[in-house]
Structure 1
Amino acid sequence: MTTTVETGTWQLDRTASTVALRHKTMWGLVTVKGTFTDVSGQGEVRPDGSAVGTLTLDAASLDTKHAKRDKHLRSADFFDVENHPVITFAVRSAELRDGGTVQVVGQLTARGISRPLSLTARLVSSDADALTLDTEFTVDRSQFGLGWNQMGMIRGLTTIAATLTFTRSAA
């Protein structure tokens, strides 16, 4: 099976895309789940089939369905949205592989700290006008200055799950 994606510029469809996180807290007894409600992005598929792009999350848009926790996550203890309002993932290269997998290499920046990040996504659908990618990966929040951990309650890695739909930009 050969899958191709049309060359050109693509825009993230905000209404059809989700970026969510989950993290164990309370010594692993409770899983906190949240969704970023303000996500934007764009990409370019080059003639050789490789791609580059950027995904931007409004850090203040994280919604865990718990107002007090959300306020704390926006504070200087965590995302410090007053000084670092966005989280970005700059895709340096994305290459479609056999079986519809996409190898992605980029740089994740949160709270003003950038780290390299490689992940595998899955191309779940594509046609001339739209494509959808799914991915799930983990990050170590302490590498981004998100080390607040009262009484050792928060342990382990944070899992990020994303479904990203892009539509072809008008030429």
Structure 2
Amino acid sequence: MTVAVETGVWQLDAAASTVALRHKTMWGLVTVKGTFGVVTGHGEVRPDGTATGTLTLDAASLDTKNAKRDEHLRSADFFDAANHPEITFAVRSAELRGDTVQVNGQLTVHGISRPQSLSARLTGADADALTLDTEFTVDRAEFGLGWNQMGMIRGLTTVAATLRFVRSAA
């Protein structure tokens, strides 16, 4: 990519982007998978090649294909979507190194913010669009999501995202 392609304001193309999670439950015997149906975001790439931005997930839009489980995940035991409707990742800095983007930011879940660093792979880029793929783990207990009946839920949650951004018309 050239600096001219990188520089500018970008909007998340929600229709071409996915944010999903997976977590082992039932003492590690079952993997629960879910996808957030409502994802928004934007970013700005500066002339020096660094970037900032925000990604926002609607906590109530998590769909695991099990209505009863989804209702429980939206409850105060987990995301407490009524009081904390958004999950946000605020990118404080992002720097392209080859086809990898090193990202440092702040993840806010359930009203609790923690620093989060990750690597994303730049899988496509042209003058009008760029696509990033990432996968990282989160300790849900650090965000107050500690419900764990009979020790059924242990370990880290894996977040996987494919994010397509298009040049903003602004």
Alpha-carbon distance in 1 for matches of 2:88, 2:24: 23
Using the size of structure 2 for normalisation, the TM-score is 0.97
Query: Structure 2 matches for 1:18-167, cutoff 5 A?
Result: 18-98=18-98, 100-167=99-166
* 1:17 lines up with 2:2 in the alignment: no
Give deviations 1:75-131, integer Å, cap 9, x for gaps: 000000010000000000000002x00000000000000000000000000000000
Alpha-carbon distance in 2 for matches of 1:11, 1:19: 16
Aligned length: 169
Alpha-carbon distance in 1 for matches of 2:119, 2:12: 18
Alpha-carbon distance in 2 for matches of 1:144, 1:157: 12
Alpha-carbon distance in 1 for matches of 2:118, 2:12: 19
Structure 2 unmatched ranges of 5 or more:
none
Give deviations 1:49-99, integer Å, cap 9, x for gaps: 00000000000000000000000000000000010000000000000002x
SS at match of 1:163: strand
Question: Residues 118 and 37 (structure 1 numbering): CA distance in 2 closer, same or farther, change over 3 Å?
Answer: same
Alpha-carbon distance in 1 for matches of 2:6, 2:67: 42
SS at match of 1:109: strand
Alpha-carbon distance in 2 for matches of 1:102, 1:13: 19
| Residue 150 (structure 1) shift | 0.1
Alpha-carbon distance in 1 for matches of 2:162, 2:56: 14
Structure 1 unmatched ranges of 5 or more:
none
Using the size of structure 1 for normalisation, the TM-score is 0.97
| Residue 170 (structure 1) shift | 1.3
What root-mean-square deviation, in Å, do the aligned CA atoms of Structure 1 and Structure 2 show? Answer: 0.9
The one-letter amino acid of 2:29's match is L
| Residue 6 (structure 1) shift | 2.4
